[in-house]
Amino acid sequence: MYNKLIVLFVLVMIACSGVNAQSYENLTVTKFEKGISGKRHQLVDVRTPKEYALGHLEAASLADWKDSTVFVTQIGVLDKSRPVYIYCRSGNRSSKAASWLIEHGFKIVYNLQDGIIGWEQSGRKIVKADDK
């Protein structure tokens, strides 16, 4: 009887192990825009410096996903307890970066599912180097 209880306990623990697993959330342009309209967010562009210079979301910081040293350094200044809104060109790199953030202790991470391409196609504004 005692062994059966132990086995049952272990099975319950295994089944529940994924219950608290965190994940990032993909957001549409509209929901992403609403999220970054608040003051507590952290907005991160994970494209290359060259892509960033061609146009980025206002107030976005750059953390180049393709350069792991730069990425880790830039992400290191963020507050893990505050929401992070992350984007790239199409949503691919930023989804990988969002997973990395969750794996490294960030609590709330949102990914712009269609990237800056979707943002621009929906008529939203971007900031270009020439605008400054």
**CA triplet 59, 62, 65: central angle to 5 degrees?**
145
CA 65, CA 73: separation in Å to the nearest integer? 11
CA 78, CA 104: separation in Å to the nearest integer? 12
CA 7, CA 9: separation in Å to the nearest integer? 5
Burial of 33 (0-12, 13-18, 19+ CB in 10 A): middle
Q: Tell me the Ramachandran region of residue 123: left when phi exceeds 0, alpha when psi lies from -120 to 50, beta otherwise.
A: left
Supply the residues annotated as catalytic: 88
> What are the structure tokens assigned to 101, written together?
């953030």
